[in-house]
Every structure is written in C-alpha cells, then in structure tokens.
Structure 1
Amino acid sequence: MTTALITGATAGIGAAFARRLAKDGHDLVLVARDTGRLQAAATELHDRHGVEVEVLAADLSEEDGISSVERRLTDGRTPVDLLVNNAGFGNKGRFLEVSMADELTMLKVHCEAVLRLTSAAVGGMKERGRGGVVNVASVAAFVPRGTYGASKAWVVQFTQGVARDLTGTGVRLMALCPGFVRTEFHERAGMGTDNIPGWMWLDADKLVTAALADLSRGKSLSVPDPRYKVLMGAVKLAPRGLLGGVTSRTGRKYGPQ
C-alpha cells in the first residue's frame, strides 16, 4: 500500500486524482483550505474504497501552510510515494488591473509552493529508490498569457529539469498540462465560460487516467488529450508576434489573465 498526497484535493482535478488513486488502493493525504470539505471527502473515499485518508488543512499562499505540508512530506514514519501539486487559481483582469498582492500570491502558490513541496518530497523518494511527483501546469504555459501563463511555464521548465536531474534514481516527475477542464476553477475566479466551445472542455476523471498512464510511461510532460496535442503543435509553428496577439484576445475571452 502506497500513500499519495494531493494539494487542492477537494475539487476539480485534485478531487479526480483522489478518487482514482483511492479506487486503485492508495492511502491518501488530502490538502486544501476548507476543513469541512476535506473531512467530507475523506469520509466518502474511506467508506467507498476502504483506504486510509488523512486531512491536512493548509493555505499554500501562506508560510505556515507551506511549512505544514513540507513537514508531512518529510515524515519518514509514513512516507509519501506520490505527490500531486495541484493547488492553483486564476486572476480575472488584464495586467495592472490585478493587484500586485494577488499577482504575488499566485506566484507563491504556483511557483514557491511547488518548488518547496517537490523538494521536500523527492529527498525521501530518492533514498527509497521510488516515487513520483505530478505538478499540474496548463497549456497556458506554452503561450504568452501574463502572470498565469508565466507561472505555469515555470512549473513545466522546473519539473522537466528536475526530472532530468533525477534520472536513474527511481523517482519520476511530470508536468501535467491540461486545457479547459470542467471544474470550479473559472467560477472561483469570476470568469464566464458560456463562450468556450464545447469541444474544448475536458473531463477531469478522464484527464487523470491519461495523466497517470503518462507518468507510468516515464513522461516528464503530459498534454493528455489529442485535441490539445494538435493545438500545441500549431502553437509551436505560429510566429511569436502573431501568437501573442491571438492569445491575448482569446485569453481575455476564455481564460485567466
């Protein structure tokens, strides 16, 4: 029996990871800010799948929150074998319309927390000769889209770099880059979704199945849907200047700023 720790575990992609991993027999450590939702999720997963589920209420935009998760990841008595860094959010508005405090909070959650929690987890994994880390990024990492896209680009580059450094240790790292997923993400950010074409939406459970398959194959980057693979291929061929204009317009219409 192995243990997986998931941040942002009570909704969306994080909750989908929790459901799938519990179904597969993994014990869980669920991390989120809302204690009530954590306890409800833990009870449901334990009752349905018979796995042990810990809850850890932590706000990863705060020093105490990051530190508490670091401590759990370095607890050798009950080691974590899989870390899923999923916590994240979007800000609504163009640059300068979003407060600097909110921009810095995004960098703390998307970058600092991912850096510190990955570091806390992989030390013990390397000693044990096994383990995995999934850092949830976004296809926004591949287009010029302000602080959100920049933070997710950092996640991709960081994850792939560490994956190379740990080659041969038995520890796998993968950046997961989904497109639009039916979660609470846009609602929490106050973003409308009515104009997003239906074909662009992904199912969180199917996304997780594809992601775990890519992790088992040793991939360091997962874009888990043929539609988005095609789109990202087109992005690589598009002139940078043209791409910046297009993504600026579509980003304001469809996604986080």
Structure 2
Amino acid sequence: MSVLITGASSGIGLELAKVFACHNYDLIIAARSKEKMDILKQELEEKYNVKVHVCEVDLSNEEGVKLLYDKVKALGEEVEILINNAGAGYVGEFTNEPRERDLQIIQLNMTSLTLLTKYFAQEMIQKQKGKILNVASTGSYHPGPYTAVYYATKAYVLSLSEALNIELKEYGITVSALCPGATKTNFAKAAGKEDAGIAMPPEFMAKAAYKGLMKGKRVIIPGIRNRAFIKIPRSIAIYMISKYQKGLKRKA
C-alpha cells in the first residue's frame, strides 16, 4: 500500500512526503521537477527505509492526469491514500491575465484533482477502504479579488471534498479538505507575490494535515488565526482580501 502525493517537489507536498515516510508509508511522489523529487527520494529512502517512486508529470493538462494514473498502475502499487496537493494561482487583475493561464489553473486545481479523485476512489471502493486529502485553502470560504480564479477553484475543492466525504463514507473511505492559510512556500513566488508576514511554515501545515486525515476529519484548518479568519462575514472579508491582495500585486 502506498501514498500518492501530487505537487510533492516543494512546499506542503514535500513536507507531507516527509511526514508519511516518517510513519513508514511507501510513497509515490508526482510533480514536474524530477531533479527535486530524485533528491527527496534518496533522502527519504535512506532516512526512513521506505520505498519511494518518482513520477515526472505535468497535471496542468488532462493528458498528464491519465499519464500519472497509467504510471501508478504500471508500478503495480495500490494507492491507499491519495493526496491532491498540486495547485497554482496568481495575483493580478482578472482581465490582465492571459486566458491560457486561467485555463491551466482551472485544469490543475479543479479538473485534474477531480479526475484523480474519481480514478482512485473507484479503486478504493473495491477494497472498501481508503483516504483522500484534497488541498483547498482558507480562500475557499471567501471571494478573492485580485486572485479571483484561484479562490474560486479552491471553493470548488472544498465543496467537492465535503460532498464526497458523505458519499464515500459508506464504502469505508474518508475525504478530507485541507484549508491552509498563508504558507511559506514557493507558491507565493510562482503566483507573483511575496510571502505574507503571517505566513506559516509548511511543516506545520503538513503535520496538521496528517493528524486530521488520520482522524478522518472532514475539514482541516491548521492554526487559530486561520480558523478565526474563515468566520469573518463574506461582506467584510472580501474588502479585507481585496486590500491585502492589491497591496501584494503592487509589490510584485
């Protein structure tokens, strides 16, 4: 039995790989950066004596999803836990961003996640057990001016995960949504902004995610500040988010 982690070359995905390896799980790690994953593979196999398979794949297109699924099947490994961590976003005005970038974000954050969930949930049903962790965001709870597409995709991830948690429970499968707030990862730079001063370390997020997933929690929101933030009424939060993201946009 293995844990499949997408977006495992950096950030929360990389830290999740370390946490699961520490708990003696064999891993299948997937991302675009084979070089980074090869380094991680060597580190985890030597330190924890687990087996780590590397799958170089681009999930920002549908072909990449099928390629990953086929690679996993070719390995002959059964996926006991699926972690859909791969994601992308940007900070900027919606009308100024290329449509191709929007479509890639929608594909990666929503479509690829949905298809991978469907592929492996169908197999888990046959075994009558399994766990799925979909990485959403505290942004799932509010609209996000100047990061509109990203927040919208994460709202989808949260909604899908909560619904599937009910649907799949009768088959012995739990579906959890991880909703991290600002995190110190390469995601911020890729999105065209700086890490927020309140950003939390990815190690903290990964450990909280592991603990919540093992308990079968429906939604995992690490940190008191993040849990408080999602309680802010949308009519107020949208203006707070707008001011914050617009400020980051100017710094980029």
Q: TM-score higher than 0.5 here? A: yes
Give the superposition deviation at 1:76. Answer: 9.1
Deviates more, 1:18-27 or 1:184-193: 184-193
Q: Give secondary structure in 2 for the equivalent of 1:181.
A: coil
Match of 1:208 among 206, 209, 212: 206
Give the superposition deviation at 1:43. Answer: 1.2
Deviates more, 1:17-26 or 1:74-83: 74-83
Give the superposition deviation at 1:114. Answer: 0.5
The answer as to 2:238 corresponding to 1:244 is: yes
Give the superposition deviation at 1:25. Answer: 0.5
For the residues of structure 2 that align with 1:148 and 1:253, how far apart are their CA atoms?
17
The equivalent of 2:154 in structure 1 is 152
Letter in 2 for 1:248: S
For the residues of structure 2 that align with 1:107 and 1:16, how far apart are their CA atoms?
24
The answer as to 2:109 corresponding to 1:110 is: yes
Give the superposition deviation at 1:72. Answer: 4.1
Deviates more, 1:28-37 or 1:149-158: 28-37
TM-score normalised by the chain length of structure 2? 0.92
Residue ranges of structure 2 left out of the alignment (5+ in a row): none
Give the superposition deviation at 1:74. Answer: 5.3
Give the superposition deviation at 1:86. Answer: 0.6
The equivalent of 2:81 in structure 1 is 82
For the residues of structure 1 that align with 2:164 and 2:75, how far apart are their CA atoms?
22
CA deviation string 1:184-213 (max 9, x = no partner) = 1112223123xx33xx22121121111122
Match of 1:217 among 196, 215, 221: 215
Question: Equivalences for 1:94-105 in 2 at 5 Å?
Answer: 94-105=93-104
State the identity %.
28
For the residues of structure 1 that align with 2:80 and 2:174, how far apart are their CA atoms?
11
The equivalent of 1:35 in structure 2 is 34
Q: Give secondary structure in 1 for the equivalent of 2:96.
A: coil
CA gap 1:184/1:76 in 2 versus in 1, 3 angstroms: closer
The equivalent of 1:64 in structure 2 is 63
* CA RMSD across the alignment: 1.6
Letter in 1 for 2:110: C
For the residues of structure 2 that align with 1:242 and 1:126, how far apart are their CA atoms?
42
TM-score normalised by the chain length of structure 1? 0.91
Give the superposition deviation at 1:73. Answer: 5.0
